[in-house]
Amino acid sequence: MFEFRVITIFPELFESFREASLIGKAGSKELLKVKPIDLRDFTDDRHRTVDDAPYGGGSGMVMKAEPIFKALEKNEGCHKVLLTPQGAPLTQKIAHRLAGQSPLLLFCGRYEGVDERARGAFDEEISIGDFVLNGGEVAAMAVIEVVSRLIPGVLGNSESIVEESFSLGALEYPQYTRPEMFDGASVPHVLLSGNHKRVQDWRRGQALLRTRDRRPDLFEKLELSQLDRNLLEQAIEDKDK
Ligand code: 6GU
């Protein structure tokens, strides 16, 4: 059983999340558990204070070191992650590593940050992208979702993990479902051919074309075989027709 522990000042945000969709189903199958932990349980003043004004002045509040240390102490043995925009950008590769690190403790930073002296108590810091959230809660949910789907048995079909975008370094190919004609647009003929090899080749070509057009940064890193080059060439031709 993979265990996520989430330290947050908003534990209630995780109640519906842990019950919904894939995460909830995996929870009932006892493949994983999401345990929200209220940071305020680790304070001892009447107001359950978790933040204070920054030394040196300035706007916003800083999360106090003491409750953080107490909460982490109570959870020793976990792999401890601080969620912060200053962390390493989350990738599929990092997610695969985290999927082997249960119990995984996710600490949701709030306000303007955490006291610098508490940062050393974490094993690593992770961000989910170059934008600013008010707190790490949504980032923690992103990490839980990314990691959960890599846990054996959580996804219905384990092939879908391997085939996906980013695992192969390329974006996903275009998908279609019924009806065959929608708003004057038909489904590409090859997908109706029943020829598995042709379908596979077409999808690879489309995935490469998409990656080239939309994510040149990813495309640059792909190591293309001669077949890949031919399939991309074909996809470019099909587009120009
Ligand atoms: Cl992990 N936290 C916050 N507050 N903002 C973020 C983030 C994390 N990742 C991207 N933006």
Report the relative pairing of strands 79-89 and 104-108 from DSSP bridges: parallel
Domain ranges of the chain: 2-148, 165-240
CATH top-level class of 2-148: alpha beta
In angstroms, what is the span from residue 109 Cα to ligand 1's centroid? Answer: 8
**Model pLDDT for residues 120-157, shown as the tens digit of each residue:** 999 999 999 999 999 999 999 999 999 999 999 888 76
Instruction: List all residues 6 or more positions away from 122 whose beta carbon is below 8 Å from its beta carbon.
Output: 72, 80, 81, 82, 107
Pocket test residue of 81, 82, 132 for ligand 1, highest count of atoms within 8 A of CB:
132
**Inter-residue contact 9 to 38 (CB < 8 Å):** yes
| Ligand 1 neighbourhood includes 130 CB (under 6 angstroms) | no
Q: Do 2-148 and 165-240 agree at the fold level?
A: no
CATH top-level class of 165-240: mainly alpha
Look up the pTM and report it. 0.93
| Ligand 1 neighbourhood includes 85 CB (under 6 angstroms) | yes
In angstroms, what is the span from residue 104 Cα to ligand 1's centroid? Answer: 18
Least reliable range by pLDDT among 5-19, 151-165, 185-199, 211-225: 151-165
Q: What are phi and psi of 197, to 5 degrees?
A: -65, -45
Token pair listed for 197: 């090899």
Atom of ligand 1 nearest to the CA of 90: 9
* Whole-number Cα distances in Å, 81 to 77, 93, 136, 144, 198: 12, 16, 11, 12, 44
Atom of ligand 1 nearest to the CA of 139: 1
**Model pLDDT for residues 93-109, shown as the tens digit of each residue:** 999 999 999 999 999 99
